[in-house]
């Protein structure tokens, strides 16, 4: 089959692991992918000229201007290779261009990473690792606490949230949860969000970023939490007001924070900034805190997840371009 009839995909913000997983998933499928290492934004949208589809990730900018530019260039579909779509102006896209996503690639990957962060934090694994590299085997300052018997509040009980709940139950933890749309026929104890703040020793976030959830953790909500609360965020950075979190840590009200996402991560995460002067003072101060662990949006990064992302993304593109509809289409 000639290249002329192949579906042409402009793939933005491509990393080595993206390229490897998508090339493996391609096989003899009817696609031709051009991988761009640059992110999609107003300036780079011109690269999509002549392509049928743009494939984007969480930190690509897909606002009204970008969408208008893509439509003008004949692009028919925006294919998100992630679950979240808060970076896409879906209202403006309606009836102009299709938007599809990968709603579930590996809930286990993200949930397990959340637990890994929690265990690392409360048992001081990261500190012990650094010490023993220098042959320092002192236990001073490494005391943690049992997870067994603690109350964990889970905000968002989609697939990832429910897997995380199962993991917590395996540790003997008491689980309470909040979700605007509770899972039907479940044995989950749902409570009001204020009860999450009030009762939880640990709070883990697994909900999407919307106007309603933006900065749901702010200075006011932190004051309503237990002193010493541990916060885990593997969902979207802007669920937490970073400046309020920093103040909560400095005041000793927040006992620890485990962050795989950050609200201003777009120009930082997924890149090597080790040789640059770091300009984000809030993130720099958070990272400097001894009770804060930051990973660079890597919770999704497992072999299984990358394989599922690649196959689902390509299936979404095939389904939408052949039928004009897709089960994973994002609707307003």
pLDDT computed for residue 194 by the predictor: 97
Antiparallel, parallel or unpaired: β 77-80 and 151-155? unpaired
- Please report, for the chain, the start and end positions of each structural domain, with discontinuous segments joined by +: 3-105+302-323, 107-294
CATH topology of domain 107-294: Rossmann fold (3.40.50)
Distance separating alpha carbons of residues 311 and 323, to the nearest angstrom: 18
Q: What is the pLDDT of residues 156-181, one digit of tens each?
A: 999 999 999 999 999 999 999 999 99
Confidence band for 1, pLDDT divided at 50, 70 and 90: very low
CATH tag for 3-105+302-323 (out of 2.40.110.10, 3.40.50.740, 3.40.50.2300, 3.40.50.720): 3.40.50.720
Domains 3-105+302-323 and 107-294 share a fold: yes
Phi and psi angles of residue 205, each rounded to the nearest 5 degrees, phi first: -105, 125
Q: What is the pLDDT of residues 262-277, one digit of tens each?
A: 998 877 888 888 888 8
Distance separating alpha carbons of residues 39 and 22, to the nearest angstrom: 17
Q: How many CB atoms lie within 10 A of CB 197?
A: 22
Catalytic residues: 236, 265, 297
Contact status, residue 95 vs residue 71, Cβ threshold 8 Å = no
């Amino acid at each position: 089959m000639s290249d002329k009839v192949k579906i042409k995909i402009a793939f933005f913000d491509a990393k080595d692991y993206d390229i490897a997983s998508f090339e493996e998933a391609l096989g003899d499928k009817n696609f031709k992918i051009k991988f761009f290492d640059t992110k999609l934004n107003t300036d780079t949208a011109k690269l999509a000229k002549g392509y049928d589809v743009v494939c984007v990730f969480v930190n690509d900018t897909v606002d009204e201007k970008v969408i208008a530019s893509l439509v003008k260039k004949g692009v028919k579909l925006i294919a998100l290779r992630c679950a979240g779509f808060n970076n896409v102006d879906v209202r403006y896209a309606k009836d102009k261009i299709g938007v599809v996503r990968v709603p579930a690639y590996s809930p286990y990957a993200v949930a397990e990473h959340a637990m890994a962060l929690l265990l690392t934090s409360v048992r001081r694994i990261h500190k012990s690792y650094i010490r023993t590299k220098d042959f320092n085997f002192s236990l001073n300052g490494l005391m943690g606490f049992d997870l067994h018997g603690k109350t964990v509040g889970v905000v968002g009980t989609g697939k990832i949230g429910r897997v995380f709940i199962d993991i917590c139950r395996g540790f003997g933890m008491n689980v309470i949860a909040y979700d605007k749309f509770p899972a039907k026929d479940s044995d989950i104890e749902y409570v009001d969000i204020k009860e999450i703040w009030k009762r939880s020793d640990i709070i883990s976030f697994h909900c999407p970023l919307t106007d309603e959830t933006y900065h749901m953790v702010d200075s006011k909500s932190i004051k309503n939490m237990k002193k010493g609360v541990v916060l885990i965020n593997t969902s979207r950075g802007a669920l937490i007001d970073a400046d309020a979190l920093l103040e909560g840590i400095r005041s000793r009200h927040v006992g620890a924070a485990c962050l795989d996402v950050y609200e201003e991560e777009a120009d930082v995460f997924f890149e090597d900034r080790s040789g640059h002067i770091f300009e984000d003072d809030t993130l720099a101060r958070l990272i400097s805190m001894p009770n804060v662990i930051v990973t660079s949006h890597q919770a999704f990064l497992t072999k299984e997840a990358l394989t599922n992302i690649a196959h689902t993304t390509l299936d979404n593109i095939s389904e939408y371009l052949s039928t004009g509809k897709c089960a994973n289409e994002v609707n307003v």
